[in-house]
């Protein structure tokens, strides 16, 4: 069993009169994580699931009924909490009136769980995001040399827990994830009138990884209007399938100001969606796979380390471009992602003069570990 980073973090936030809420994609390991955490506490724990109709009927915002339900327990785990009506008020009653019981709620649908908890739980919750396995977690499970040796496999198959733990069935697992699990919450939404558009949209995004995306182009490819495209893109983000990388600009005349790129949280899902799980040596999209992998892994690193850096790409109207820019209070750092370590990298003079970056780096298969686990090397790549 691969140890998750949050396994040591979340217990520090428990029993502080606040709920612990864990978001993340389906099958990312939320239930397993919570069980490992609660087992270590040795406290009596009640596990319930929003998938259970009986649970949904029994959980109502009443102090007496909730206290009776959890009598004798110190921890209440609510899995798939987004499916329970009035879940925000239910958790609020625990934090305000039954504070001896620690609530841990998990959800795979941010668009539902956030809307049901944000207003009621202001100042009453700690939130955590659990991603598919990170490079750092995999390194800790084995070692740096072994995990670097598997990088080509990760670029194709990704790092969902079941994919990593049972590699002989990774293709079947990914196809199941891409068709059955990840989109379960998306298609259950009342506002989704055109499931076929979602299918076309995610495929279009998969083929455009690393490229700037426009709603008008996506509209042309899917047959949906711009308003529907924008709505469905937001839903895909809130369902933890893709995430947006905005354009970086400080109002220079020749910079793209409203551009955006989309990346997948996991390479394996991206490849399963386009039906291509072939080895890297036979593919023509290794550059896009490398860019998606490194940016998604960096996102995990920033989240887990609570690093406040903001992420962007940069491009001008003259097609000058930088793959990735991070901005902190100290300034900006710029990165180019090249699978081939021998590839030449040039950073546009326009960017350098305008922003005076703290560093300009190329991230390739020889040095990427310094970008994904910088503390291990005592420096910021």
- pLDDT level of residue 116 (50, 70, 90 thresholds): low
Which residues, including other chains, have CB under 8 Å from residue 342's CB and lie 6 or more apart? none
- pLDDT level of residue 239 (50, 70, 90 thresholds): confident
Residue 115 confidence (pLDDT) above 80: no
Q: What is the mean pLDDT of the chain?
A: 91
pLDDT at 152: 97
Q: What is the arithmetic mean of pLDDT over 72-98?
A: 92
pLDDT at 129: 95
CA 156 to CA 133: how far, in whole Å? 14
- Which segment of 109-118, 144-153, 246-255, 328-337 scores lowest on mean pLDDT? 109-118
- pLDDT level of residue 191 (50, 70, 90 thresholds): low
What are 279-299's pLDDT values in tens digits?
999 999 999 999 999 999 999
Q: Which residue has the tokens 């300034």?
A: 331
Q: Percent of the chain at pLDDT above 70?
A: 91
pLDDT at 26: 85
Maximum Cα interatomic distance, the chain, rounded to a whole number of Å: 68
Number of other CB atoms surrounding residue 155 within 10 Å: 24
- Which segment of 5-19, 184-198, 297-311 scores lowest on mean pLDDT? 184-198
Q: What is the arithmetic mean of pLDDT over 257-262?
A: 87
Q: What is the arithmetic mean of pLDDT over 20-35?
A: 93
Stated pTM of the model: 0.92
Q: What is the arithmetic mean of pLDDT over 330-338?
A: 96
Q: Where are the chain's structural domains? A: 6-129, 135-377
What are 228-238's pLDDT values in tens digits?
899 889 888 88
- pLDDT level of residue 199 (50, 70, 90 thresholds): confident
CA 224 to CA 218: how far, in whole Å? 8
E runs forming strands in the chain: 19-23, 45-49, 75-79, 102-107, 125-129, 242-246, 260-264, 310-315, 321-328, 331-337, 359-363
Q: Residues 49, 79: contact at Cβ < 8 Å?
A: yes
Q: What is the arithmetic mean of pLDDT over 43-50?
A: 95
pLDDT at 1: 83
Pairing of strands 75-79, 45-49: parallel
Q: What is the arithmetic mean of pLDDT over 135-139?
A: 97
The CATH number of domain 6-129 is 3.30.413.10: no
E runs forming strands in 217-348: 242-246, 260-264, 310-315, 321-328, 331-337
Q: What is the CATH number of domain 135-377?
A: 1.10.10.10
Residue 190 confidence (pLDDT) above 60: no
Residue 100 confidence (pLDDT) above 60: yes
- Which segment of 68-72, 80-84, 125-129, 266-270 scores lowest on mean pLDDT? 80-84
pLDDT at 367: 95
Pairing of strands 125-129, 331-337: unpaired
pLDDT at 195: 75
């Amino acid at each position: 069993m691969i140890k998750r980073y949050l396994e040591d973090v979340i217990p520090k936030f428990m029993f502080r009169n606040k709920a612990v809420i864990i978001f993340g994609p389906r099958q990312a390991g939320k239930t397993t994580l919570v069980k490992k955490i609660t087992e270590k506490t040795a406290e009596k724990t009640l596990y319930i699931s929003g998938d259970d109709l009986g649970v949904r009927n029994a959980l109502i915002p009443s102090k007496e009924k909730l206290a009776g339900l959890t009598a004798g327990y110190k921890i209440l785990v609510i899995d798939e909490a987004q499916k329970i009506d009035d879940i925000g008020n239910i958790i609020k009653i625990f934090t305000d009136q039954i504070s001896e019981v620690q609530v841990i709620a998990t959800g795979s649908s941010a668009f539902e769980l956030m809307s049901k908890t944000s207003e009621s739980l202001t100042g009453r919750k700690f939130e955590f995001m659990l991603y598919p396995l990170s490079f750092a977690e995999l390194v800790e499970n084995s070692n740096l040399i072994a995990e670097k040796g598997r990088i080509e496999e990760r670029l194709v198959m990704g790092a969902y827990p079941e994919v990593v733990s049972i590699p002989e069935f990774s293709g079947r697992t990914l196809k199941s994830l891409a068709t059955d699990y990840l989109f379960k919450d998306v298609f259950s939404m009342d506002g989704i009138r055109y499931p076929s558009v979602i299918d076309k949209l995610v495929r279009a995004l998969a083929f455009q990884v690393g490229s700037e995306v426009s709603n008008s182009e996506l509209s042309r490819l899917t047959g949906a209007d711009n308003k529907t495209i924008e709505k469905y893109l937001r839903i895909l983000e809130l369902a933890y399938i893709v995430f947006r990388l905005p354009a970086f600009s400080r109002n220079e005349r020749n910079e793209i100001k409203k551009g955006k790129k989309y990346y997948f949280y996991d390479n394996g899902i991206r490849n399963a969606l386009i039906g291509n799980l072939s080895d890297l040596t036979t593919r023509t999209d290794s550059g896009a796979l490398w860019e998606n992998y490194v940016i998604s892994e960096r996102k995990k690193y920033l989240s887990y380390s609570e690093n406040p850096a903001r992420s962007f790409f940069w491009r001008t109207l003259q097609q000058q471009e930088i793959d990735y820019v991070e901005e902190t209070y100290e300034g900006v750092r710029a990165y180019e992602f090249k699978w081939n370590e021998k590839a030449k990298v040039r950073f546009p003079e326009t960017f350098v003069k305008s922003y005076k970056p703290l560093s300009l780096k190329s991230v390739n298969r020889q040095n990427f570990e310094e970008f994904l686990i910088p503390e291990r090397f005592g420096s910021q790549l």
